[in-house]
Amino acid sequence: MTAAGMDAVSILAIDLGTANTRVHLFDVAEGQYRFIASGISQTTADAPYYDIGEGIYQALDRLQAITGRIFLDKDANIILPSQAGGEGVDRLVVTYSCGKTLNVATFGLLGDASLESVNRLASSVPGKVVDSFGINDKRTLDAKIEAILAAKLDLILFAGGSENGASRSVLNIADLISRTMQVMPAGDRPEVVYAGNQAVSQQVKDKLERFTAVHILPNVRPQIDREEVARAEVGVSKLVNQMQSRYINGLDRIGTICNALPEPSTSAAEKIIRFLSATNDPQKGVLAFDIGSRGSSAISGVGGKTHINLFPYGSGAGLDSFLKKVSPERIHPWLSRSIPLEDLRDALYQKTLSPNSIPANGEALDMELAVAKLILREMVREMRIKGTLTARGYDPILVSGSALTRAASPQQILLTLLDGIQPAGITTLILDKHSILQSLGAAGLVQPFLPIQVLESTAFTNLATVVSPVSESRTGKEVLSARLEYSSGKFMDVNVTQGSIITLPLKPGESAKLYLETQHRTRIEADGLTEEYYKVNGGILGVVIDARGRPLEMPGNEKQRDELVAGWMTALGG
């Protein structure tokens, strides 16, 4: 459908990150929605401004300078809707990842039913689930109460019982929560969301309301075999907005002029991943990584079912937390040049003191990329443990976050992603250079065709299609023969040896047929090569065959490592 058949409107999307505030302009060009431009500024939610307004104003000022369009009136208000002269925009949406990381506890009955559903509901909250309580929890009552008190909760999500199903167990949980509330200081009590059996919702409310605010939302598991998290998600989003408004000054103010409720960035991005995973190759999943300043996220989707994974560490304000998990000693082998460990450690801890600083020289950039690799590795490791990754692999993998996308060269970005994620099989790596994924999710609420049309445009950058064979062969032994056949009929043949990485040129926007033949003890896809050939899309670095092995480990000897990395960069054209 073209924009001519729609209610064609311009949309401004504001994304409030921990470090940066971005404003994205989407408008109709040649009958289709396109990403036009973005303005970026520092987020001013924290000291010394304590209000998001200044950051939004600065970002819009940049956007005005870039586009030559006027978005602000003389009183610095956003012009909504657009005027006859072209000033302003028609729709406004807001996403945010700044604010407080909320501490959440979930309560449900069975681990594979209501508790699972309420945990899924919790994944839409910008926070961390610090504990989960089900009826099969073996902890004593006192231990449970101690655990809840120690968790310093902001929010309790509580479900259980299908409609007109279990009620006694649900009320027992309400008693447990009530007992804990009694020993909490009044100002420290978390708000409670109840999204379970509606038949007992009033009783739950009666038990808890004298201690804290109780919000009754639709049952996330109305039948034992039917989950309906989405309806409760809307209510949770509203509540989270109210709670975050206490920490993000100005959010409620801008919320009043938005065309959709301000939404946590990850839940907005999740809508796009859900859509892509439902429409793409059903054999594979879609994966989106975002390394933020304070926190990071990975959204995985297979066949329209998604998992949001939030990680309380990042490359800026969250670096301190990351260094508590992964020491500089573990990061050191992933540098691409020799830097003494002592210098690396000092530089990383110095960065924790100035989290918004930018790598000014090559060494500093190298350290930032090494950290990004380890953050990705840690995210993948934690997702494996949680069981939120499919063994079938992912295509595409989208990445965002300035630590990844602002690197100086595409080769640096590619090696960071490959070393960090270590994908298997055939996958396309796509850069979200402007960090618009969450804005698309939010904009889709007011203009459903916009995300689809922008996704099909050049707003995202295809970095490369990567083939990652896994082989037990020794280094230097041939593991794969490949032929890339271009649409012109010309082709390129390569033999790939274990331990190498090579690139075959294929420009962005072009596609080609890739014929693959694996050698002894080598496999590519989880089920082996089932197709005669694979249709692959071009990217900045074309088609890359990464035969460096899985899991990829770096040599301890620094000289060997420097030579190895330099060789990889050269092979990739860097």
Partner 1 sequence: MQAQVLQIRSITRIRRSQSLPVAGNVRVHLGQKVYTGDLLAEADLSSSQVTVDVTRALGLSSYEDAESLIERKVGEKLEEKDIIAETGGLFSKVIRTPAPGNIISIQKGVVQIETGVRHLTLEANYPGTVTEIRKNQKIYVEESGSLIQAVWGNGRVAAAPISNAGESHKSALSPNSFGIENRGTIVVGGLCVDEATLNQAAALPIGGLILGSMPARLIPAAEKQPYPLILTDGFGLMGMNELAFRLLSTNTGRETTINAVRMDLRNGIRPEVFIPLPVDAQPADEFSEFMVGQLVRENTYPHAGEIGVIVKISTASVLLPSGLRAVAAEVKFNQEKRIVPLANLDVISIESEVSAETK
Q: Dump strand ranges (E) for 113-190.
A: 127-133, 155-158
Closest contact distance (angstroms) between CB of 411 and partner 1 is 11
Binding pattern for the stretch 186-215 against partner 1, x by CB under 8 A and - elsewhere? xxx---------------------------
Indicate whether 142 belongs to the interface with partner 1 (CB under 8 A): yes
Residue 72 near residue 78 (C-beta atoms within 8 A) = yes
Cβ nearer to partner 1, comparing 211 with 486:
211
Indicate whether 183 belongs to the interface with partner 1 (CB under 8 A): yes
Cβ nearer to partner 1, comparing 76 with 224:
76
Indicate whether 154 belongs to the interface with partner 1 (CB under 8 A): no
Question: Angle CA(166)–CA(162)–CA(390) in degrees, nearest 5?
Answer: 120
Indicate whether 44 belongs to the interface with partner 1 (CB under 8 A): yes
d(CA 495, CA 480): 6
Indicate whether 361 belongs to the interface with partner 1 (CB under 8 A): yes
Indicate whether 51 belongs to the interface with partner 1 (CB under 8 A): no
> Given strand 191-194, what is the order of strands in its sheet?
127-133, 102-107, 155-158, 191-194, 214-216
Q: Which of left, alpha, beta for 89 (phi over 0: left; psi -120 to 50: alpha)?
A: beta
Residue 296 near residue 318 (C-beta atoms within 8 A) = yes
Stated length of the chain = 574
Binding pattern for the stretch 453-492 against partner 1, x by CB under 8 A and - elsewhere? ----------------------------------------
Q: Residue type at 472? A: E
Which of 317, 371, 436, 479 forms a contact with partner 1 (CB under 8 A)? 317
Closest contact distance (angstroms) between CB of 367 and partner 1 is 8
Piece of 157-165, 172-180, 235-243, 391-399 that binds partner 1 (CB under 8 A): 172-180
**Which positions from 512 through 531 interact with partner 1, judged by CB under 8 A?**
none
In this structure, are strands 285-291 and 296-302 parallel, antiparallel, or unpaired? antiparallel
Q: How many CB atoms lie within 10 A of CB 68?
A: 8
Which of 4, 47, 84, 385 forms a contact with partner 1 (CB under 8 A)? 47
Residue 96 near residue 251 (C-beta atoms within 8 A) = yes
Q: What are the C-alpha distances in Å from 48 to residues 43, 51, 86, 351, 456?
A: 11, 9, 35, 20, 41
Which of 199, 216, 261, 347 forms a contact with partner 1 (CB under 8 A)? 347
Q: Dump strand ranges (E) for 30-164.
A: 32-42, 91-96, 102-107, 127-133, 155-158
Place of tokens 């960071």: 416
d(CA 190, CA 172): 18
d(CA 240, CA 333): 41
**Which positions from 399 through 428 interact with partner 1, judged by CB under 8 A?**
406-409
Indicate whether 354 belongs to the interface with partner 1 (CB under 8 A): yes
d(CA 187, CA 9): 45
| Interhelix angle 558-571/410-421, nearest 10 degrees | 120
| Interhelix angle 229-247/114-122, nearest 10 degrees | 40
Cβ nearer to partner 1, comparing 369 with 424:
369
Cβ nearer to partner 1, comparing 202 with 357:
357
Cβ nearer to partner 1, comparing 179 with 392:
179
Give residues with Cβ within 8 angstroms of 381, minimum separation 6.
none
**Which positions from 365 through 404 interact with partner 1, judged by CB under 8 A?**
365, 367
Q: What is the DSSP letter of 311?
A: E
Which of 34, 49, 281, 529 forms a contact with partner 1 (CB under 8 A)? 49
Which of 106, 132, 178, 219 forms a contact with partner 1 (CB under 8 A)? 178
Name the maximum alpha-carbon separation found in the chain: 76
Piece of 266-274, 359-367, 436-444, 554-562 that binds partner 1 (CB under 8 A): 359-367
* Total residues binding partner 1 (CB under 8 A): 52
Cα end-to-end span (Å), the chain: 41
Closest contact distance (angstroms) between CB of 349 and partner 1 is 4
Cβ nearer to partner 1, comparing 47 with 385:
47
Which of 81, 282, 362, 448 forms a contact with partner 1 (CB under 8 A)? 362
Closest contact distance (angstroms) between CB of 46 and partner 1 is 4
Indicate whether 68 belongs to the interface with partner 1 (CB under 8 A): no
Indicate whether 342 belongs to the interface with partner 1 (CB under 8 A): yes
State the residues that interact with partner 1 by CB under 8 A.
41-42, 44, 46-49, 54, 58, 141-142, 145-146, 175, 178-179, 182-188, 317, 328, 342-343, 345-351, 353-365, 367, 406-409
